[in-house]
Amino acid sequence: MLLAQSFGCARFVWNNTLTYRTEAYQQHGESISPSAVEKRLVALKAEYPWLADVSSVILQQTLRDQKAAFDNFFNPKLRARYPRFKRKDGRQSIRLTKAAFRYRDGEITIAKTKTPLPIRWSRPLPSEPSTITISRDRAGRYFISCLCDFTPDVLPVTPKMTGIDLGLTDLFITSEGIKSGNPRHLKRYEAKLAYLQRRLAKKQKGSNNRNKLRQKVARRHAKIADCRRDAIHKATRTLVNENQVLCVESLNITGMIKNRSLAKAISDAGWGEFLRQLVYKAEWAGRQLVKVSQWLPSSKMCHGCGHKVEKLPLSRRHWHCASCGQALDRDINAARNIRTAGLAGLACGATGAGAAA
């Protein structure tokens, strides 16, 4: 009950403050400072006494999160969207600092309650958490994320180096010729998901039956997302464990998704999550991740002699080099070119996860 009330109070403060800031700019051209917003919180709590039923830290952290959202929006490098209103049936989250929770004997108790949260831990905490985030997804599942200090274990040095090409027929292809395949998680559950969505569209808005069916649709989406995330975690962990240097292509995934013919397949492949996991896992394990320019013609260029063909449609998966006569697999050839370009970048002095050739 307290968690649901905390989610509601945090959502109200976010939406009310966002409305206030938006109207102030649209009507008077005024930008509200973070300090003015925090002072306004006192007036909000006086006007709506039920806001005092939850920890004030939750409301303060909500305002700080909104400040971070506006900072990202005004940062030209991030190209973030304008902060949006939070929905009651969307994902909910609250963040608490040390002043609003207690960690003792492996149990966490938040402010305004005396009962520890019934947590099923996925792993032991490496240290006492400094911040916790409690969230609830659209399927009604609760999660707690703890911010802790820890020292990652650096893996032993290995001489193996690989290039990785991302694809749709196979999620990733290495320069050694390993093809991962593509489980296509969305396609596996797509028929059942479409059936549930058709039923949902026919339910009366606001009815209990519609809410029950919405939960079923959300659970199906959660199942798909969990399967995709699990497969990517296993693949990235294997690649990081086995290779000292990993060379990947820096793709413009946002631009590629604008292709309506491939948008669903690219989103289902999870390229962005794949690259994100490679970056932090390589850093933790003491590996080097090299990002190669997306403009490298990795598929069109022969890895043996460097000859480049003018056109190579996606339907053509194998081709012969006109210069050296070598038979080439499109994806393996691209991975080998990415590996060559990545190692060349390292040789020129570029190092670390942010290196680019």
Q: Which residues are catalytic?
A: 165, 249, 331
Query: Quick check: 80 and 72 in contact, CB under 8 A?
Result: yes
Contacts of 56 (CB under 8 A, 6+ apart): 45
Q: Which two tokens stand for residue 178?
A: 């390993």
Residues in the chain: 357
Query: Rounded to an integer, what distance in angstroms lies between the CA atom of residue 339 and that of residue 7?
Result: 47
Query: Rounded to an integer, what distance in angstroms lies between the CA atom of residue 165 and that of residue 175?
Result: 8
Candidates 104, 109, 143; CA nearest to 2 is 109
Q: How far lies 172's CA from each of 35, 223, 231, 279, 310, in Å?
A: 48, 22, 12, 15, 24
* DSSP H/E element including 143: strand 142-147
* DSSP H/E element including 9: helix 2-28
Q: Name residue, tokens 């990202």.
A: 72
Query: Quick check: 294 and 250 in contact, CB under 8 A?
Result: yes
Q: Which two tokens stand for residue 174?
A: 């290495």
Candidates 301, 309, 285, 287; CA nearest to 338 is 301
